[in-house]
Structure 1
Amino acid sequence: MFWLYVVLAVFWAVILIDYMIGFRSITKLEKVESERIGERISVILAAKDEEKDIAATIQSLLAQRNVDCEIIAVNDRSNDKTGDIIQKLADEHTNVTGVDISTLPEGWLGKNHALHQGFQHATGRYILFTDADIQFTQDAIAKACTVMERESVDHITAAPELHAKTFWLSGLISFFLLGFGYLKRPWAANKDQAKSGMGIGAFNLLSRDCYEKIGGHEAIRLRPDDDLELGNRVKRLGFKQRLVTALYDLSVEWYPSLPSALRGFEKNAFAGLNYSVLLAFTAVLGVFLSQVVPFLLIFISPLEIQIISALNIVLLFCLYALTIHNLTRFSLWYIFGLPLFAMLFIYMLIRALVLTWVRGGIEWRGSRYSLKELKRHSKNSEED
């Protein structure tokens, strides 16, 4: 036990150094002075049952400065007033185009199909894919395009501020970002020689040439993690990419409640683990041993194990504090909830994996997708 946590302490120390260097390489969008962008930007968003947020999102896009934006809002089989709201805004604004989808063809995830259909109407040199519940400041798009042109890159993806109404949701967000950091190393996207990529659904801005050459959303038509896989394809196929943070320029409510977060996690949990039961088991065991057990050992073990457990906890708190500071606007006091949030994350992961396995697939926004088909397409898209 002692030597296990010695190894873990070394591991966290190495990760901490990587975090410190990595976060310094990420541009903060709020520090960018926007320039006038001469090229047209086609903003494409997919909306399914988004009557609560869609109008505010489109209005924030209409208010963009220093850019020529066309807004293509795709109503993806909504059962509420989303389509009516989009049509009303399209009637009022010449740069808003509404697209209605009534059926989902076989072999597609709904959102991916909607974004693919939206692209068919795009005329811009730059293509921005976003979500129907994002709030943009007036210079958000111009700032991102400024970075894109200054650094001569093909893809910019931006991490937004994630709102949460409760303590548990805020903790879950920050803990998820902690794990995402050491598993995915998102800052590696900013190294041109690295093959690992990054994509965030709230803001994926690509040149038209890049998007078409990576195969568009058709190449990832059955990927629940479409945003991340889009970014991975950008890097795998040799294009340049940058990850920026936009905590003061983009904002979104992650989920309105903890139960909705549990349901949402069902969509991506197994995809994020490459549909591997072994990886799923390893993830659950790894989080429990490394981020829960040390908090128990510090009270119930011999002195030498208490000391090494305390060292692990200090390193974890440092990692967590860096994550919260750089990727959220939450209070740093959340670091002291780490073992609680770890247990909640473990529960979410086990629940999502069991439900996916029992159902033989995922259910998302009224559609069901078989696990067999998802696994086959995931393998094919990574081999392209």
Structure 2
Amino acid sequence: MELYIYLLSGGLLLSFLWIIINGMFYPAYPKSKKTPIPPLVSILVPMRDEERNVLHLIENLKELTYSNLEFILLDDHSSDATYSLAISSTDKDSRFTIFQGAPLRKGWAGKVHACYQLSHAANGDFLLFLDADARLKKNTIERMLPFFQNEKVGLVTGFPRFPVTSWLSKLVVPMQHFVIWLHLPLALANYSSFKPASAAHGAFMFFERSAYDFVEGHFSVKSSIVEDVHLARVMKEHGFQVKLINATPYVTCHMYETNKEVWNGFIKNIYIGIGRSPIMAMGITLFYSLFYISPLFLALLSPLYGVWFFVPLVLVWLQKLYIDFRTGQRAYLFLFMPLSALAFLVILHASMWKSWRKQHYFWKGRAYK
């Protein structure tokens, strides 16, 4: 047993060092070069049943300090007051265009179809697709545009800071950052055309317009419900660089508010996100069970067998605390990391089970397979 503790602790220590080193390959924010005429940036927001978000979103967009913006919001057949609230809160601001989307076409995912329509309504040299629950720091556009000074960069994206409310959101939503820092080689993601090393977050997708048009934009991933990752891969496939940044200083996403939303949101993405691979799912299950769940049970045995049984849990906590600190997450949540890993695995297996039984995933009144 002592040998097992030593090996487990050694593996966790190495993975902690890897997390620190891997995070160094997030690209630094470059300094901007002054241009006589700032390029037009189109901020594009698909909305479906976003009554609780739309007013806060519009207020946030109005506060942006970049001087050349247009805002285009699409109401995607909402069943609530999303459209009327958007109209009433923007009628005196000429930068805003609000329109209702066309009926969903066969073979298209709902959000992708909405984004496709938004892109055709946009006039900008750059296209920033935002989710309605995303909020931007006032100078976000100024801080993002310098990434495109490298003409090969076609897409800038990043995982936002996630304020969390419900107990399931506290366990699962911050795990998105943990998975990226631990599993994605950021050097390959940011400085190579290696497609499997790709990640993106659909709440914040900033495209150079000509690159977006060259790859046919959302049309190229029209049936995908993980369109963000698939678009990143398409960009790389066509020779464009994708910059996956630590967006937490500038972008916040109030992703899910209730436990039910967390469950439904993750269950539709998580198994598809690993390519519907049962082998990968089993590998992930073994990995997280061994390294991130078992240390909790070992720690409970430490009063009987000694302090060494507590060391693996401390190393697990240090990993999560480091990532939470770097991504602006609530500090105390690191204490629940074993439970977060367990919840992550439960949702993964529920998602896989739905796929195996050929059941639909449901999101905002629409069914997907």
Q: Tell me, yes or no, if the aligned pair for 2:161 and 2:328 is still in contact at 8 Å.
A: yes
Paired amino acid for 2:265: G
Which position in structure 2 is the counterpart of 1:376?
none
Offset of 1:82 from its aligned partner?
1.4
Which position in structure 2 is the counterpart of 1:144?
144
Which position in structure 1 is the counterpart of 2:243?
242
Q: Secondary structure at the match of 1:204?
A: strand
How many residues are paired up? 367
Find the aligned partners of 1:254 and 1:276 in 2 and give their Cα distance. Answer: 26
Find the aligned partners of 2:10 and 2:268 in 1 and give their Cα distance. Answer: 34
Change in 2 beyond 3 A, CA 1:137/1:261: same
Which position in structure 2 is the counterpart of 1:75?
75
Paired amino acid for 1:112: V
TM-score (norm 2): 0.87
> Structure 2: which 5+ runs fail to align?
none
TM-score (norm 1): 0.84
Find the aligned partners of 2:11 and 2:298 in 1 and give their Cα distance. Answer: 18
Q: Secondary structure at the match of 2:223?
A: coil
> Structure 1: which 5+ runs fail to align?
371-384
Paired amino acid for 2:236: K
Paired amino acid for 1:207: E
Find the aligned partners of 1:85 and 1:186 in 2 and give their Cα distance. Answer: 40
Q: For each residue in 1:309-339, what CA deviation from the matched residue of structure 2 results, as whole angstroms up to 9, or x when unmatched?
A: 54433332222122111123311x3222222
Find the aligned partners of 1:143 and 1:294 in 2 and give their Cα distance. Answer: 41
Find the aligned partners of 1:57 and 1:34 in 2 and give their Cα distance. Answer: 29
Find the aligned partners of 2:211 and 2:192 in 1 and give their Cα distance. Answer: 15
Find the aligned partners of 2:185 and 2:170 in 1 and give their Cα distance. Answer: 21
Which position in structure 2 is the counterpart of 1:105?
105
Q: For each residue in 1:245-264, what CA deviation from the matched residue of structure 2 results, as whole angstroms up to 9, or x when unmatched?
A: 23342222121122221111
Structure with the largest fraction of helix? 1
Paired amino acid for 2:172: L
Structure 2 residue 51 is the aligned partner of structure 1 residue 51: yes
Offset of 1:194 from its aligned partner?
5.0
Change in 2 beyond 3 A, CA 1:285/1:155: same
Structure 2 residue 101 is the aligned partner of structure 1 residue 96: no
Structure 2 residue 234 is the aligned partner of structure 1 residue 254: no
Paired amino acid for 2:190: N
C-alpha RMSD of the superposition: 3.0
Change in 2 beyond 3 A, CA 1:298/1:159: closer
Find the aligned partners of 1:238 and 1:39 in 2 and give their Cα distance. Answer: 23
Structure 2 residue 233 is the aligned partner of structure 1 residue 229: no
Which position in structure 2 is the counterpart of 1:378?
none
Q: For each residue in 1:277-326, what CA deviation from the matched residue of structure 2 results, as whole angstroms up to 9, or x when unmatched?
A: 2322332333222211122134449999984x544333322221221111
Structure 2 residue 185 is the aligned partner of structure 1 residue 163: no
Q: Tell me, yes or no, if the aligned pair for 2:148 and 2:208 is still in contact at 8 Å.
A: no
Paired amino acid for 1:274: G
Q: Tell me, yes or no, if the aligned pair for 2:268 and 2:361 is still in contact at 8 Å.
A: yes
Which position in structure 2 is the counterpart of 1:375?
none
Which position in structure 2 is the counterpart of 1:153?
153
Q: Calculate percent identity across the aligned residue pairs.
A: 22
